[in-house]
Amino acid sequence: DVKVTQSSRYLVKRTGEKVFLECVQDMDHENMFWYRQDPGLGLRLIYFSYDVKMKEKGDIPEGYSVSREKKERFSLILESASTNQTSMYLCASSFQKLTDTQYFGPGTRLTVL
């Protein structure tokens, strides 16, 4: 059974804080993704990684960075949190075949005050 876990379900941070969100998958997937989900806007891709130490910008990378030092772990970093980064953050992973689906973690609801 595929398992994608995220470090926190709920997180409250203050403006300007550095925030780390961690994601771990146990299926040996090559690809890992970070999305944010906001009402009416759907899932928006922040960053993805197709291999260890490799990363690519998604559609909304500004204000975020990522780290993938091990295949199973993908971290999202908010360098200086702002209120407009209050959102639901979803991590996902997949194999690289075109037909392969993405498996999502439970999500982290981040509130920046």
Partner 1 sequence: QKEVEQNSGPLSVPEGAIASLNCTYSDRGSQSFFWYRQYSGKSPELIMSIYSNGDKEDGRFTAQLNKASQYVSLLIRDSQPSDSATYLCAVKAGGFKTIFGAGTRLFVKA
Q: Is 90 in the site for partner 1 (CB under 8 A)?
A: yes
Question: Measured from the CB atom, is 2 or 79 closer to partner 1?
Answer: 2
Q: Burial-class residue 28 by CB neighbours within 10 Å (0-12, 13-18, 19+).
A: exposed
Is 31 a residue that touches partner 1 (CB under 8 A)?
yes
CB of 99 to partner 1, least distance (A): 5
Distances (CA, A) of 8 to 16, 107, 111: 19, 8, 12
**Cα–Cα nearest to 94, from 2, 21, 29:** 29
Per rule CB under 8 A, is residue 104 in the interface with partner 1? yes
Q: Which amino acid is at 100?
A: D
Query: If binding is defined by CB under 8 A, does position 99 make contact with partner 1?
Result: yes
- Give the binding site for partner 1 (CB under 8 A): 31, 35, 40-43, 45, 48, 50, 56, 58, 90, 96, 98-99, 101-107
